[in-house]
Amino acid sequence: MNIDLIEAAAQRLAGHVRRTPLLSSPFLDDIAGRRVLVKPECLQHTGSFKFRGGWSALSALPDDQRANGVIAFSSGNHAQGVAYAAKLHGVPAVIIMPSDAPKLKIDNTRALGAEVVLYDRAGEDRDALGARLAAERGLTLVKPFDDPQVIAGQGTAGLEIAEQAAELGVTHADVMVCCGGGGLTSGIALALEARAPDLRARPAEPQGFDDVKRSLATGTIQRNPALSGSICDAIITPQPGDMTFPIMNRLCGPGIAVTEDECLHAMALAFLRLKIVLEPGGAVGLASALFHGDEIEGDTVIAVASGGNVDPDMFQTALSRFL
Amino acid sequence: MNIDLIEAAAQRLAGHVRRTPLLSSPFLDDIAGRRVLVKPECLQHTGSFKFRGGWSALSALPDDQRANGVIAFSSGNHAQGVAYAAKLHGVPAVIIMPSDAPKLKIDNTRALGAEVVLYDRAGEDRDALGARLAAERGLTLVKPFDDPQVIAGQGTAGLEIAEQAAELGVTHADVMVCCGGGGLTSGIALALEARAPDLRARPAEPQGFDDVKRSLATGTIQRNPALSGSICDAIITPQPGDMTFPIMNRLCGPGIAVTEDECLHAMALAFLRLKIVLEPGGAVGLASALFHGDEIEGDTVIAVASGGNVDPDMFQTALSRFL
């Protein structure tokens, strides 16, 4: 796993993945007490950075293997990213989703061209189901984070951050990244190491689900005590990946854990000041930049806003409570 | 008024004005029955395209004249665009706002460094007040649309559209532009004439306030019967400008008028599918692209989403009613 893989992914992604801008607002600067730059990956195709990794993985496959199709497990953003990347490549995608996943996400994934296979969380073995389908049809599994080409795809966001920060004269800053399994965080960390070594990736997580923060603090992989119960559903994973953790452990600064209220508040401020839509899990990085300034170094902070696939009710809750 | 002025404005704006991306969603394509590309000027500094014209006008002034400061009349987006452009130039700005303007907009304009002078719509003569202040302090008036440098600044969005559409292989399309006085529409029309002659600017307006549509249809300037009473407050003007109308009359396709419900519906879809925040007046172009397809030509339509400075209550109304 190195910068060459990320550069190669960037070549494959060119013209297919959106180059998201860096946004800012003097009002957010005032709140944070330093300059705040926001990388809105909610504006990426399918509403999250996951399309980068999906496209990278699909485009890296040999033609004949890709033609057989791909398979992924996901109830959310990875599902849509892989489904749309497969559709644009003209190959089949099977997405295994829990039957109690939000109807909108199931409908979206289907509408993006994927065959959705539902399973019962309680009674069925997801992995066995996936393995059987993959074997029967010759499908290639696209993992959500612990895969070199997926990490490389997410890392292209880091290449863009390095370039865009340099254009603004920013060479020293903490880069707060919403972190689940660590694919985006480790990809960005690798890109920054090579292209902007004084920008430092730092994982941001919800309190109670700060496995990466604790893993970095101890130097060994730690698990979350719970696997559900957060509004930040997009970034809740049991533990950092076997592939992503060593990268984060080598390159990242300390993690920051934020409250759910801080996420909702950051969503409301992103609405008001940046005119972008964030989901709770996609607002964790911005929340850390705005409300945990005492844990951040430097006169500029960069926050990756990783996704915007939020239900209207949750969004309205954020606006009602914090505006 | 010609392309050279717009190109010169683009030079002055480079590095100061945000290059907004072109967004898209297959879900919006399905609704419109053609490819839909959205230029989200809500992501521009201060939440609307008005910062382009503000910066263009400020940066075109001789140094000594600019140093004295500028003055503008506005209750909304022009106020914030001029105020922030003046702040970044380090010169004073006086914004004359009605005393019954939304408190948030008054506060924002002040927070962006402007001196806000409130007047009573009923009892005071706004123009006389402005003229007195301008004379006393040597302030330069920045008009909202009928000014060559303002039109040139707004036209830089058209230069970007021409480039970005070409990158996507789009050379023929209607470009739907939210239209008030016509500064953005005429600026974009001039840029497209020079850089993408088969992209055609077309004004979009709210029903009942379709002065530009009627003016284009008759070839002479028509007035709106009312000056208030629309949720699309950002683009309600009495009539097209003396400078903007001849440009639009020469270059633009027919206007399209949309209902308020269509605006709210477009806002909801922009939230759901593009993850951007639009105000009603900023959603008029997208509403025309999505819901008035029978009035549009070609297999691609481009919609300029001109602004996102919307109150949370109005935004929640859009989500509640249409999602």
Q: What is the pLDDT of residues A102-155, one digit of tens each?
A: 777 889 999 999 999 999 877 888 888 988 999 999 999 999 999 999 999 999
The phi and psi torsions of A165 (rounded to 5 degrees) equal -65, -40
Instruction: Note whether A189 and A246 are within 8 A (CB).
Output: no
Query: Taking 90 as the threshold, does the pLDDT of residue A320 lie above it?
Result: yes
Residue B299 confidence class, pLDDT cut points 50, 70, 90: very high
What digits encode the pLDDT tens for the residues A144-198?
999 999 999 999 999 999 999 999 999 999 999 999 999 999 999 999 999 999 9
B16 to chain A: nearest residue by CA? A168
In whole angstroms, give the CA distance from residue A93 to residue B310. 39
Query: Taking 80 as the threshold, does the pLDDT of residue A75 lie above it?
Result: no
B 171-200: CB under 8 A from A: none
Going from the C-alpha of B29 to that of each of A271, B259, B291, the distances in angstroms are 25, 20, 11
Using an 8 Å CB-CB cutoff, list chain A residues near B167.
15
Q: Rounded to a whole number, what is the distance in Å from the CA of B309 to chain A's nearest CA?
A: 8
Query: Taking 80 as the threshold, does the pLDDT of residue B185 lie above it?
Result: yes
Instruction: Note whether B11 and B269 are within 8 A (CB).
Output: no
Query: Taking 90 as the threshold, does the pLDDT of residue B100 lie above it?
Result: no
Identity of the residue numbered B169: G
> Is the Cβ of A37 closer than 8 Å to some Cβ of chain B?
no
> A275 vs B20: CB contact, 8 Å cut-off?
no
**Residue in B19, B271, B312 nearest the CB of A277:** B271
What pLDDT is recorded for position A101? 79
In whole angstroms, give the CA distance from residue B7 to residue B15. 14
Closest C-alpha to B200, from B255, B155, B252, B254: B252
Query: Taking 90 as the threshold, does the pLDDT of residue A208 lie above it?
Result: yes
Closest C-alpha to A211, from A198, A230, A192: A230
The phi and psi torsions of B85 (rounded to 5 degrees) equal -60, -40
Residue A256 confidence class, pLDDT cut points 50, 70, 90: very high
Query: Taking 80 as the threshold, does the pLDDT of residue B102 lie above it?
Result: no
Higher pLDDT, A40 or B131: A40
Rounded to a whole number, what is the distance in angstroms from the first to the last CA of chain B? 43
Query: Taking 90 as the threshold, does the pLDDT of residue B249 lie above it?
Result: yes
> Is the Cβ of B286 closer than 8 Å to some Cβ of chain A?
no
What pLDDT is recorded for position B121? 79
In whole angstroms, give the CA distance from residue A124 to residue A116. 16
The one-character DSSP state at B234 is: G
> B319 vs A308: CB contact, 8 Å cut-off?
no
Instruction: Note whether B237 and B281 are within 8 A (CB).
Output: no
> A42 vs B112: CB contact, 8 Å cut-off?
no
Closest C-alpha to A175, from A267, A4, A306: A306
B312 to chain A: nearest residue by CA? A319
Q: Hey, what domains does chain B have and what are their CATH numbers?
A: 3-48+147-322 (3.40.50.1100), 51-141 (3.40.50.1100)
Q: Rounded to a whole number, what is the distance in Å from the CA of B267 to chain A's nearest CA?
A: 12
A313 CB-contact burial (10 Å; exposed 0-12 / middle 13-18 / buried 19+): exposed
User: Going by C-beta distance under 8 Å and a sequence separation of 6 or more, which residues neighbour residue A29?
Assistant: A35, A36
What pLDDT is recorded for position A173? 98
Instruction: Note whether A254 and A217 are within 8 A (CB).
Output: yes
**Residue in A15, A316, A323 nearest the CB of B319:** A316
What digits encode the pLDDT tens for the residues B112-135?
999 999 998 778 888 889 889 999
What pLDDT is recorded for position B126? 83
Q: Rounded to a whole number, what is the distance in Å from the CA of B146 to chain A's nearest CA?
A: 27
What digits encode the pLDDT tens for the residues B52-87?
999 999 999 999 999 999 999 987 899 999 999 999
H or E element in which residue A129 lies: helix A126-137
H or E element in which residue B211 lies: helix B211-218
In whole angstroms, give the CA distance from residue B188 to residue B166. 15
A138 CB-contact burial (10 Å; exposed 0-12 / middle 13-18 / buried 19+): exposed
> Is the Cβ of A88 closer than 8 Å to some Cβ of chain B?
no
A14 to chain B: nearest residue by CA? B167
Using an 8 Å CB-CB cutoff, list chain A residues near B19.
21
- Residue in B275, B306, B315, B317 to test binding to A, most A beta-carbons within 10 Å: B275
Residue B267 confidence class, pLDDT cut points 50, 70, 90: very high
Instruction: Note whether B25 and B274 are within 8 A (CB).
Output: yes
**Residue in B20, B277, B278 nearest the CB of A21:** B20
> Is the Cβ of A209 closer than 8 Å to some Cβ of chain B?
no
Instruction: Note whether B100 and B122 are within 8 A (CB).
Output: no
User: Going by C-beta distance under 8 Å and a sequence separation of 6 or more, which residues neighbour residue B90?
Assistant: none
ipTM entry: 0.96
In whole angstroms, give the CA distance from residue B9 to residue A246. 49
Inter-chain Cβ pairs, chain A and chain B, closer than 8 A: 76
What pLDDT is recorded for position A168? 95
What pLDDT is recorded for position B135? 94
Would you give the distance in Å from CA A300 to the centre of its chain?
A: 22
What pLDDT is recorded for position A126? 83
Using an 8 Å CB-CB cutoff, list chain B residues near A21.
18-21, 43
> B315 vs A319: CB contact, 8 Å cut-off?
yes
Mean residue pLDDT of chain B comes to: 95
What pLDDT is recorded for position B169? 96
What digits encode the pLDDT tens for the residues B280-298?
999 999 999 999 999 999 9
> A111 vs B18: CB contact, 8 Å cut-off?
no
Query: Taking 90 as the threshold, does the pLDDT of residue B208 lie above it?
Result: yes
What pLDDT is recorded for position B103? 79
3-state secondary structure of B70: strand
